[in-house]
Amino acid sequence: MHFIWKEWLENIRSKGFWLSMAIILVVTILLLTRSSFSYDQGFYILLVNLFESLLYVIPILCLFLGGFSVFQEKEQKTLVMLLTRQESRLSFLLKKSLGIQATLLGPVLIWFFVYLVPLKFYFDVQLSHYFLFLAALASLMLVFTQLGVLIGSISRSRMQITGVAVILWFYFFFLHDFVLLSLLPDVTHDNVKLFSTAFFLNPIQAGRLFLESGLGLYSFGHMSRLLQSFMWLSPGIFFSINLLFWLGASFGGAVLMHRKEGFE
């Protein structure tokens, strides 16, 4: 609880935190006020548009905020003090990760619960589908914030954090799909499960398919044999595995490759 309070006090003094919150608020309000969809079906279109729009900003913002938050401990020498007082790296990074996740995810979820009030005046809101949207969005924030913690843990300067964060965002947002598209002609029944695993390793794609299938935009009732082999697990299971994998891998990497010192 101490780390959560400490992170909150640090974030409310950060211009980057308030800029991130402002961007999310502006995007969501603009999409709601500019929408001209029908009362019955517009809700689903808005949720998809919201998710697709926030994909442009949330991953990179979470990478930056997570990375700079950890690096700040190095700059202020508080990390060295904690580690010399018998605080293990694993314990420190676990508390730090929980603190960052809570202070970033909490305000966003609060805003989307407030957002639900005007949403009811515009559309026929289905709460179960709205919670699916929140789950997909929260997963995206958790994964990329934890990847940001990994970047901040292994970096020695703010410039390194900026460079690695941009490269990682570019890879997941653009490059990953291009690589898989180049391999698509070689996909057969023998290797389609391997291709499927590579596809769903992308947290953006796993969250997108989880949301769109949950909203009923995709039907998996009449699939070809190849597509059946591709979807060898349900979107929800792929989504859950992706979340657990990236949280575990990024946290483990932060613990194992952590660098205590940083420089400007």
According to the model, what pLDDT value does residue 60 have? Answer: 92
Q: Per residue in 149-204, pLDDT tens?
A: 999 888 888 898 999 999 999 999 889 988 988 888 888 888 888 888 888 999 99
Q: So what's the pLDDT on residue 17?
A: 77
DSSP string, the chain: -HHHHHHHHHHTT-HHHHHHHHHHHHHHHHHHHH----TTTHHHHHHHHHHHHHTTTHHHHHHHHHHHHHHHHHHTTHHHHHHHTT--HHHHHHHHHHHHHHHHHHHHHHHHHHHHHHHHHHS---HHHHHHHHHHHHHHHHHHHHHHHHHHHH-SSHHHHHHHHHHHHHIIIIIHHHHHHHHGGG--TTTHHHHHHHHHTSHHHHHHHHHHHHTTSS--SS--HHHHHHTSS-HHHHHHHHHHHHHHHHHHHHHHT--S----
Q: 145 with 59: CB under 8 angstroms?
A: no
Only one residue has tokens 């898989």, namely 180
**What is the C-alpha separation between 221 and 218, in angstroms, rounded?**
9
Residue type, 203: P
Domain ranges of the chain: 2-256
| Alpha-carbon gap, residue 21 to 8, rounded angstroms | 14
CA separation for the pair 260, 264 (Å, rounded): 14
Q: Who's near 66: CB < 8 A, 6+ residues apart?
A: 100, 104, 144, 145, 146, 147, 148, 149, 151, 152
Segments in the chain below pLDDT 50: 262-264
CA distance 256 to 150: 10
Task: Give residue 264's pLDDT.
Answer: 43
* Closest C-alpha to 199, from 169, 167, 242: 242
Its pTM surpasses 0.85: yes
Residue 173 phi, psi dihedral angles, 5° rounding? -80, -35
Predicted local distance difference test score (pLDDT) of residue 263:
47
Measured CA to CA, the distance from residue 37 to residue 122 in angstroms comes to: 9
What's the pLDDT score for residue 171? 92
